[in-house]
Structure 1
Amino acid sequence: MGIGPGSLEKNDPITGLNLVAWFFEQTQKNPDFFPLLKSTITFFNVMNFKAINQRFSYQGGNEYLCEFRDELLRLFKGEKVLRAGADHLVVISLNLTVDEIGDRIKILKEIMGNSPKGLRNQIKAGIYIVDGSTHKPVIMMDRASLACREVHGIYNKAYEVYDSELAKRHEQKQYVLEHFEEAFEKEYFKVYYQPVVRALTGKICGYEALARWIAPDRGMISPLIFIDVLEKVHLIHKLDAYIIEHACKDLRDDVDSGFAYQPISVNLSRLDFELSDIKKIIDDAVTKYNIPKEYLVLEVTESAFAADLSSLGKVIREFREEGYQVWLDDFGSGFSSFNNLQSYDFDFLKIDMNFLRSFDKTPKTKVILASIVDLAKKLGIHTLVEGVETQEQYEFMKKIGCELIQGYYFSKPLPVEEFHNRRAELCSFDTNESPEERLYYDEIGRINFLDNTPLREKQMDIASDIPIAIVEREDRHYRTIYANDAFLREVHSFGAKDIQDVLKLLWKQNTIEEVQKYYEHLLYTEEHRVTIEYNMMMNNYKINTIVRFLSRMGNKAVYAFMTRNLTLHENL
C-alpha cells in the first residue's frame, strides 16, 4: 500500500508491520512524527533463518516471522515494532531501560528457540541508545545493527549494546580494511616472539612467532582486531605466509650470529589450507633460509579441524613425515578436541590459555588440566600450556608434568630488536636449552606423574595395576560385579579364583568371631561413610584389604575392595 507517488511502501506484506524505511522517512519529513532522539533502537536478527525456509518452505519461514512479530508486540507492548527486511525486526523504545530490554530479549530467545519451527535458532540483538545528537536515522539503525553483529557466533551472548568501545573497534576494523595492503607493502606488520620455557629447568626452549601491526599514524593495532578482519575477508593466509617468511629469516640470523637459537613455532589456520598451498610456502621458506625443518614448528589451530577438510590430514602427515613438528594449538577451545586426537597425530598438545583464567576461581579447572596432561601422555604427546601468569599456575603445571610453559609470567612477546639488545640475557647458552638438552628432557617428559604406573612403557592400553573389585552384598550372599586383572592376580596369588573363593577361605581358615568382625567392618563403612583397612591371614599369606561402601538399594549394598597379598610383595 503506497502513500503517494514516489513514496516508500508503508507496511510489510508478510508481517503487516510498518517498514523501517518508511518509518524513518516520516521522521525525516516531520520531526514531530516520532520522538526518535529520545529513543532506544533494538535490532533483532534470526540466526540461520535460511534453515527454517529450507526445512519448512518459505511459507513456514513467513509463519515463523509472524510468531516472532507477535512475541515482540507482547513483550514490548506500547513500543514501536518494525520490519527491516529479511529476518530483521526492530523495536524502537521510549519507555524501557537497557536492562529491561535485555530481560525481554532473553525471554524472547527462549520462546522462539522452542518454537516448532525454531530449530533451536539463536535470536541475536543489538541495542543503540540514541544520545540526542542529530544523526540521520539510518546511522542510528546501522549502529544497532553493528552491535547485533558483534554477538554473531557467540553462543552464550544474546545481545550487545553500542558504546564508545564498540565504536572504536568498528573504526579500527574499517582502518584494517582500508590499510592492510599498505601495511604489507611497507612492512608495518612485525613479528614478535614470546619465549617458551622448560618447566623443569626454566630454560628457554622455543619461541612462538606472533603478528603485530605497528601503524605509523596510530601505533599498535590489536591482533584481536586485524586477525579477525583478515580472516573474514579471506586474507589471513597472506599474513601467515608473511610471518613464516620473517620467522625463517630471523632464525637464520640467529644461527649465523653465534648465539643460542631455538625452534620457532608459527600459527596455521584453516584458511591457510583452503586458500593457499601452505606446504609449498613453508618448504620454500625453509629452503630459502636453509632452516632445519625441526626448527620450524607448525601450530595448527584447533578451529582448523572444525571444517572437515579432507586434505588437512594428508598435509599434516606429509609435514611430520618430512621432519616438521606439528602441534595442536588451543586444545579445549570448544571444537572437536577429542576427535582431533583420535584422527590426527601431533607432537605437542598446546592447552588453551582460557583454562588458566578460571584457575583460582574454579576447582574443576585443576582437575581438567591434570586430566588433559594425563591423556596426552598416555597417547605419547608432549604438552605445553600457554597463558601462565603467576607462580602458582607455573608450579601447578610443573607438578602435574606439563613440560613446556608459555606466558607473561616469563615474558611478554618481544620484537626482534629487544632480543638483540638483551642478547647476553635472552640469547646466552646459560639461559637457553641446547639441542642435546632438548632430546634429554623430551625423554624425561614422557614420564606420566599422574599415572599409577609411571615407569611402565606405554602400550596404548588402559590397564591399571591397582587391584580393585566392586562387590555386591545381598544379606550374607556376595557376587562380583567387576574385578580388574590386577585384583584377580592378587587373589590368585593366595589360592582363590574370585571373591566367592575368598569368602570360602575366610570361613574355612578363621574363627566365627573373626568372620563376624569382617562382616561388622562392612556395616561400619556404610554407617559412618568411611574407608577402612584391615589385614587377615589366608593360606598362610598376609592379606591387606581396603573397603569403601558405595551405595545401597533395598537389601542390596555395594562395596569397592582393594586387596593385596602383602607376603608375596614383601618377598619380591
Structure 2
Amino acid sequence: MNFKTINQRFSYPGGNTYLCKFRDELKRLFEGETVLRAGADHLVVISLNLTVEDIVNRVKELNLVMGHFEGGLRNQIKAGIYIADGTPQKPIVMMDRASLACREVHGIFNREYAVFDEELNKKHEQQQYVLEHFEEAFEKGYFKVFYQPVVRALTGKVCGYEALARWIDPVRGIIPPFIFIEIFEKFHLIHRLDALIIEQACKDIRDDMDSGYAYEPVSVNLSRLDFELSDIKKIVDDAVAKYNIPKKYLNLEVTESAFSSQNTNLAETIKAFRADGYEVWLDDFGSGFSSFGNLQSYDFDLLKIDMSFLRTFDTNPKSKLIIASIVDMAKKLGIHTLAEGVETKEQYEYLKMIGCEIIQGYYFGKPMPVEEYQNNREKYCRYEVSEPSELKEYYDTIGTVNLLDNRPLIINRNTIVNFMPTALFELIDGKFQFIYTNKAFSDFMASIGARTHEQIINEFIDKFPEERAMLRQAMLDTEEQKIPIDCAMTIYSCKLIVAVKFLNRTGSRTSFVLTCRNLSKIKKPKYGHL
C-alpha cells in the first residue's frame, strides 16, 4: 500500500532495498514455492502445497516483519489469492484473478487479503459490462430515477423524497448502483449521471406540480467529482430554471467522502448554493470520514445519519447513545437531522423520542420508479399522506426543540451551557472542599446569600448543624447504595433540594457530585387548576 511513500522517504535506492527485503521474506516464508516479481511492487507466489489458511498465516507474518523495516515504517501489504480449479489456464489469467482479489482489499485497513471466488468473478464481469455499455445506457435512456419517501417523525407524513439512480438494462436487468457508481467515479463519468438525475428530478417535480396532486421536495446526490469535472452550480440552476420549480424543492446531498479531497471549489460552491436558497445536506454522517471537521468548516442545513448505526441498533447499546448524541449536537448547531436505514417500528419510535426530525428507510417505503407513484396516486400522492408545503417551515421550527436538553424551552445554538447548579467536592480526612463548580452553581449560591465557596463551607458548618448532619448522612447513604440521594433542607430561609451522588474513594479521600434546586423561587400560577 502506498509504495511511493517509501521512495519519497528513503529515495529510490531505499525503495529498492525495501523490495529486496520484501523478496527475501517471501522466499523465507514460502520456502520451496515459486516466487516471482510481476512488476513494480507486485510479487507473485505459485504454490502447489499450501492451503488458504497456510497462506493467510504467512501473509500476516510478512506484514508483521515488514512493519518493522527501517525503524518502524508501517506500510501494509495486501494479498489476493486465487485457487486453481484444475482446468488448464494460462498463468496470466490466474495472476489477473489473484490481482483482482487483491484490489478488493486495497485501501481497507483491517483486511490483509481476499480470495477470488464466484461472487467476486460475477462482480468483475458486471464491472466489465458497465465499462463496455455505459455509453449505450446514456444514449438509450436505461438510467431511471427511483424515489424513496422521507417521513416527518412527529406526524408520520411524507415530507420529501430522495432521487436514486437505477440502471435498468435490457440484458442484465437492474444493475446495482454500488457496481456502476464506483466505476463511474473511477473513470470520471459520474458527473454525467448526476446531471441526468438532476434534470429528471426537476422534470418530475414540475409534473407533480402541474398534476394537482400533493408534491414534496426532492433531494439529489452530488459526488465530489461533480465539483471537479463540471460546473455543478450551473447544471442545477439551469435545470431549476428550465422546469420553473422553486429552489426549496430541490435539496442537494453531499456525501462525507467529498470532503476528504482537497478541492477548494467545494466550499465556495456550497456557500453559493445556500446563498441562492438551496438546502445543502451532509450525507452519510459518521460513516468514517472526518465528520466533526466538516461541521466545523462548512455550513449545512441537515445531517443524514449514516444507516450503519441502525444496523447494530438491537445488538449494540452504544448505537442508540451515538445516534442520540448526534441529534443533540445537531440541535445545538442549528442543523436538522434525518436518519436513514429505518426498518422497524422500534427504531422509528426511538428516533422520534430523541427528536430526530425526519426518517427514511424500508419501514416507510422502498425506492420506486415515478410511474409506480403515478399509477397509485390515490395511495401515494394524496394530501392526507403528504405534508402540505406551507407546513414545512412550521414543523422545521418545532424540530429545533432539543428534547435531550435539560432546558428545552431555551434554544441554544453554538453554545455549551449547563443550567443545573453542579459542584464536584471531596472529603479529605473529614474536611470538605470544592474541586469544581459551574457558573450555575455560583449563581445559585449567590441567589440564597452566599458569596464565596469558603463562606458556603464555613457558614454551612457553623450555622446549619441539622442540615450539615443531613448532608453527611446522605453522603454515607449514596456511597453505600451507589445511587443519588436527595435532601430537603432550608438555608437562609430558602427551601432547597440538594442531591448528592458518590463517585469514588481512595484511602481517606472521597469524591461526590452535588446538584441544587431552590423551591422557594417556584411561584404558584395565577390561574386555577386545569
Give the TM-score normalised by the residue count of structure 2.
Answer: 0.95
Q: Using a 3 Å threshold, how does the CA distance of structure 1 residues 458 and 517 change in structure 2: closer, same or farther?
A: closer
**Is 1:54 the equivalent of 2:8?**
yes
Question: How far 1:343 sits from its partner (Å)?
Answer: 1.0
Q: Given that residues 52 and 117 in structure 1 are in contact (C-alpha distance below 8 angstroms), is that contact kept between their aligned partners in structure 2?
A: no
Letter of the 2:320 counterpart: K
Matched with 1:565 is 518
- Which residues in structure 2 correspond to 1:316-355 (within 5 Å)? 316-355=270-309
Q: Using a 3 Å threshold, how does the CA distance of structure 1 residues 415 and 514 change in structure 2: closer, same or farther?
A: closer
Question: How far 1:123 sits from its partner (Å)?
Answer: 1.2
Matched with 1:23 is none
Out of 397, 417, 425, the position equivalent to 2:351 is 397
Matched with 2:66 is 112
Q: SS at 1:212's partner residue?
A: strand
Question: How far 1:459 sits from its partner (Å)?
Answer: 4.1
Between the aligned partners of 1:506 and 1:285, the Cα distance in structure 2 is: 72
**Is 1:539 the equivalent of 2:492?**
yes
- Cα distance per residue 1:418-439 (max 9 Å; x no partner): 0111100111111111012212
Q: Given that residues 401 and 411 in structure 2 are in contact (C-alpha distance below 8 angstroms), is that contact kept between their aligned partners in structure 1?
A: no
Q: Given that residues 478 and 500 in structure 1 are in contact (C-alpha distance below 8 angstroms), is that contact kept between their aligned partners in structure 2?
A: no
Q: SS at 1:461's partner residue?
A: coil
Letter of the 1:129 counterpart: I
Out of 373, 376, 401, the position equivalent to 1:447 is 401
Question: How far 1:506 sits from its partner (Å)?
Answer: 2.3
Out of 76, 91, 95, the position equivalent to 2:45 is 91
Matched with 1:258 is 212
Matched with 2:528 is none
**Is 1:186 the equivalent of 2:140?**
yes
Question: How far 1:528 sits from its partner (Å)?
Answer: 4.3
Q: SS at 2:135's partner residue?
A: helix
Q: Given that residues 223 and 255 in structure 2 are in contact (C-alpha distance below 8 angstroms), is that contact kept between their aligned partners in structure 1?
A: yes
**Is 1:158 the equivalent of 2:99?**
no
Between the aligned partners of 1:101 and 1:466, the Cα distance in structure 2 is: 60
Q: Given that residues 331 and 413 in structure 2 are in contact (C-alpha distance below 8 angstroms), is that contact kept between their aligned partners in structure 1?
A: no
Q: How many residues align?
A: 525
Between the aligned partners of 2:186 and 2:396, the Cα distance in structure 1 is: 38
Question: How far 1:75 sits from its partner (Å)?
Answer: 3.1
Question: How far 1:216 sits from its partner (Å)?
Answer: 0.6
Matched with 1:294 is 248
Matched with 2:263 is 309
Q: SS at 2:522's partner residue?
A: helix
Q: Given that residues 493 and 565 in structure 1 are in contact (C-alpha distance below 8 angstroms), is that contact kept between their aligned partners in structure 2?
A: no
Between the aligned partners of 1:57 and 1:428, the Cα distance in structure 2 is: 68
Please, which runs of 5 or more residues in structure 2 have no aligned partner?
Answer: 526-530
Q: SS at 2:141's partner residue?
A: coil
Q: SS at 1:202's partner residue?
A: coil
Between the aligned partners of 1:324 and 1:98, the Cα distance in structure 2 is: 53
Q: Which moved more, 1:446-455 or 1:93-102?
A: 93-102
Q: How much identity, in percent, do the aligned residues show?
A: 62
Question: How far 1:478 sits from its partner (Å)?
Answer: 2.8
Q: SS at 1:192's partner residue?
A: strand
**Is 1:232 the equivalent of 2:182?**
no
Q: Given that residues 52 and 118 in structure 1 are in contact (C-alpha distance below 8 angstroms), is that contact kept between their aligned partners in structure 2?
A: no
Question: How far 1:520 sits from its partner (Å)?
Answer: 4.2
The alignment's C-alpha RMSD in Å is 1.7
Q: SS at 1:123's partner residue?
A: coil
Question: How far 1:492 sits from its partner (Å)?
Answer: 1.6
Q: SS at 1:464's partner residue?
A: coil
Q: Given that residues 505 and 538 in structure 1 are in contact (C-alpha distance below 8 angstroms), is that contact kept between their aligned partners in structure 2?
A: no
Give the TM-score normalised by the residue count of structure 1.
Answer: 0.89
Q: Using a 3 Å threshold, how does the CA distance of structure 1 residues 68 and 524 change in structure 2: closer, same or farther?
A: farther
Matched with 2:342 is 388
Between the aligned partners of 2:72 and 2:230, the Cα distance in structure 1 is: 38
Q: Using a 3 Å threshold, how does the CA distance of structure 1 residues 199 and 531 change in structure 2: closer, same or farther?
A: same
Matched with 2:387 is 433
Q: SS at 2:435's partner residue?
A: strand
Q: Which moved more, 1:137-146 or 1:518-527?
A: 518-527
Q: Given that residues 313 and 344 in structure 1 are in contact (C-alpha distance below 8 angstroms), is that contact kept between their aligned partners in structure 2?
A: yes
Out of 97, 103, 108, the position equivalent to 1:143 is 97
Between the aligned partners of 1:358 and 1:113, the Cα distance in structure 2 is: 33
Matched with 1:125 is 79
Q: SS at 2:85's partner residue?
A: coil
Out of 498, 509, 512, the position equivalent to 1:556 is 509
Matched with 1:34 is none
Between the aligned partners of 1:515 and 1:437, the Cα distance in structure 2 is: 55
Letter of the 2:456 counterpart: V
Q: Given that residues 373 and 400 in structure 1 are in contact (C-alpha distance below 8 angstroms), is that contact kept between their aligned partners in structure 2?
A: yes
Between the aligned partners of 1:227 and 1:114, the Cα distance in structure 2 is: 38
Between the aligned partners of 1:162 and 1:111, the Cα distance in structure 2 is: 25
Q: Which moved more, 1:85-94 or 1:190-199?
A: 85-94
Q: Which moved more, 1:409-418 or 1:552-561?
A: 552-561
Letter of the 2:154 counterpart: L
- Which residues in structure 2 correspond to 1:369-388 (within 5 Å)? 369-388=323-342
**Is 1:464 the equivalent of 2:441?**
no
Between the aligned partners of 2:65 and 2:350, the Cα distance in structure 1 is: 44
Between the aligned partners of 1:444 and 1:516, the Cα distance in structure 2 is: 46
- Cα distance per residue 1:111-157 (max 9 Å; x no partner): 32343366322211110001101111110010000000111122221
Between the aligned partners of 1:514 and 1:253, the Cα distance in structure 2 is: 73
Between the aligned partners of 1:503 and 1:198, the Cα distance in structure 2 is: 52
Question: How far 1:230 sits from its partner (Å)?
Answer: 0.4
Between the aligned partners of 1:525 and 1:91, the Cα distance in structure 2 is: 66
Matched with 1:486 is 440
Q: SS at 2:227's partner residue?
A: helix
Question: How far 1:71 sits from its partner (Å)?
Answer: 2.9
Q: Given that residues 400 and 411 in structure 2 are in contact (C-alpha distance below 8 angstroms), is that contact kept between their aligned partners in structure 1?
A: no
Letter of the 2:274 counterpart: R
Out of 306, 312, 315, the position equivalent to 1:358 is 312
- Cα distance per residue 1:394-421 (max 9 Å; x no partner): 1111111111111111111000110111
Letter of the 1:486 counterpart: A
